[in-house]
A and B are shown apart, each in its own frame.
Chain A
């Protein structure tokens, strides 16, 4: 009788191993989800016709944009909490010169670009009306993020052809100060 009761007790014990294992699996799965960032891309084409060419270049009306970071506009560099090798910037400022007009806020920039996008130009190859191509130029202290933000706003406004012009050096190369 006593042996029977003991056997019944043993059978009633729950095996916790699979449950713990599954819990660990779920924890790992959610950890991976949190840290895995999605990567995307922006396609750009550089000019192909470099050097001596026989092809005739047709002049196209384009919109020149100059992104500048004012002196002292780079902001404060703060060490990254997760990766100490990199830093984050607080209080970074840029402004945009769309043709001759200076713009200070993204909202103003979007409004101006939408207006510019309405002014279509004739494509010399297809003779159809299209939005002007944009050339982005940038000065010292302009970060990669500033340019991708501009590209986003320009694409929202309806521009499709965006090319890159030259840069005006780095913050360190800026005359008269070592930090922008």
Chain B
């Protein structure tokens, strides 16, 4: 704030808006980052790189649950564990329950299949696994998806896009 004498004795008050605008921008960036970090669906995993990966841009309005698979095979959805190694290889009941909940609560929608003439889940499921997760655990999720009560057939595997993808393709 600077004061200047206008000549009649009263000071002319001017406010420097620059620092205020800068602070607002800083706050906007800070909250943007905080919101991004609070994204509960994504666990901190290191995804493998794939040249043929397509950018993950689901169309707006499309429902797509995300399952995270940690290095020891632990399956996580929204910070809650649905399978841990202590459950044993044959006990994937909690995961099946979660998949059925998505279908019954219409989080994943069904559509009539013209060939099979019955309703099948039409929304995809994204599996995010660490690059050093054993493939066996991902196969177990696929097996549960293929269960006759569940029948989720659209599965997407999350991968990282290499930075030099364009140059490799060219």
Contacts and interface: CB of A to CB of B under 8 A. Distances in A.
Interface of A: 15, 17-18, 21-22, 24-25, 28, 32, 37-51, 53-55, 67, 80, 83, 85-89, 138, 140-149, 151-152, 155-156, 164, 166-171, 173
A76 B119 CA distance: 47
Contacts of B33: 32
Q: Tell me what chain A mostly uses at the interface: helix, strand, loop, or mixed.
A: mixed
Contact of A144 (B23, B48, B115, B140): B48
Contacts of A55: 115-116
Given A46-B146, A50-B151, 13 more contacts: A18-B18, A21-B19, A21-B23, A37-B47, A41-B53, A41-B54, A48-B120, A86-B132, A145-B131, A146-B135, A151-B52, A164-B142, A168-B136
Interface in B53-88: 53-56, 69-71, 73
Contacts of B154: 43, 45-46
A42 B50 contact: yes
Contacts of B151: 48, 50
A46 B151 CA distance: 9
Interface residues of B, number: 64
B113 A48 contact: yes
B159 A87 contact: no
21 contacts: A18-B22, A38-B55, A38-B160, A41-B53, A41-B56, A42-B52, A43-B155, A44-B157, A46-B145, A46-B155, A48-B153, A51-B148, A143-B134, A144-B129, A144-B134, A148-B50, A149-B48, A152-B51, A156-B51, A169-B136, A170-B137
